Structure 1
Amino acid sequence: MSPRSRMGELEQAVLETLWDAGSPASGREVHERLADRDLAYTTVMTVLDRLVAKDVVARERDGRAFRYAPRRSRAAMTADLMHEALEGTGAERDQALVSFVGEASADDLAALRRALADLT
């Protein structure tokens, strides 16, 4: 199971905040970016600690504080979820892929075609 599929909604929100930051962020910065959620600073720090323990987020010392950054990109973690979902289909893997592609938007299909062309 991928780390992202084992995350709660608040953990996901903190991770999204770190991805959106674009560079390592302090706990204070993450807390400020989540101000609309009315969370205690200690709650944000607890969530960051959990994400570090799950090896989803890296922590590096910056003076007396720490800075946090996602270990993997949003795209890489999304791909993990897609692979995890396909693994659960067993013998119906082909059908699951066909169903996915059948419901894809024109933009998604174009992106898939480009990706497949790049692989060949």
Structure 2
Amino acid sequence: MRDFGDLEAAVMDRLWTWAKPASVREVLNDLNKDRDLAYTTVMTVMDNLYRKGWLTRELDGRAYRYVPVSSRQEYSAELMREVLDHSGDSATTLLRFMDDMSAEEAEAVRKALRRRQKRTSAG
């Protein structure tokens, strides 16, 4: 897995934020508020994201409507997993990461660990 390119990230950001199927034209119109892109450029990027497995699409009339396969949070978790796997020492890397967590983030981790412990104890 790799990080998105700049335009791929901009497309995914819009689709994640909107949380609804969107056409190339809708994404293009929003992207063109910040830059000047051609329809074919955005269409190619979205088709590439579809072919890479990041988007699904459904034909709506003559155009496709695209939806992300995973949420922004799921994508971020996969990136974090990849970083941990390649760190050489995932436990130490995770502990260093946790040193920078806010109190709210640390509490969320504690709650998740308690839920996980209950699941593994019950199973």
Give 1 or 2 for the bigger CA radius of gyration. 2
Q: How large is the Cα RMSD of the aligned pairs? A: 1.2
Q: How many residues are paired up? A: 116
Match of 2:19 among 18, 22, 31: 22
Q: Which runs of structure 2 are paired with 1:1-120 in the superposition (5 Å)?
A: 2=1, 5-35=2-32, 36-90=34-88, 92-120=89-117
> 1 or 2 for the larger relative contact order (CA 8 Å, sep ≥6)?
1
Q: What's the CA shift for 1:82? A: 0.6
Q: Which structure 1 residue ranges, 5 or more long, are not aligned?
A: none
Q: TM-score, normalised by structure 1?
A: 0.90
- Measure, in 2, the Cα distance between the counterparts of 1:93 and 1:26: 40
Q: TM-score, normalised by structure 2?
A: 0.88
After superposition, give the CA deviation of every residue in 1:20-67 in whole Å (9 maximum; x if it has no partner). 111110111111121222211111111101101111011110011110
Aligned amino acid, residue 75 of structure 1: Q
Q: Which structure 2 residue ranges, 5 or more long, are not aligned?
A: 118-123
Q: What secondary structure is seen at the aligned counterpart in 1 of 2:65?
A: strand
Q: What's the CA shift for 1:108? A: 1.4
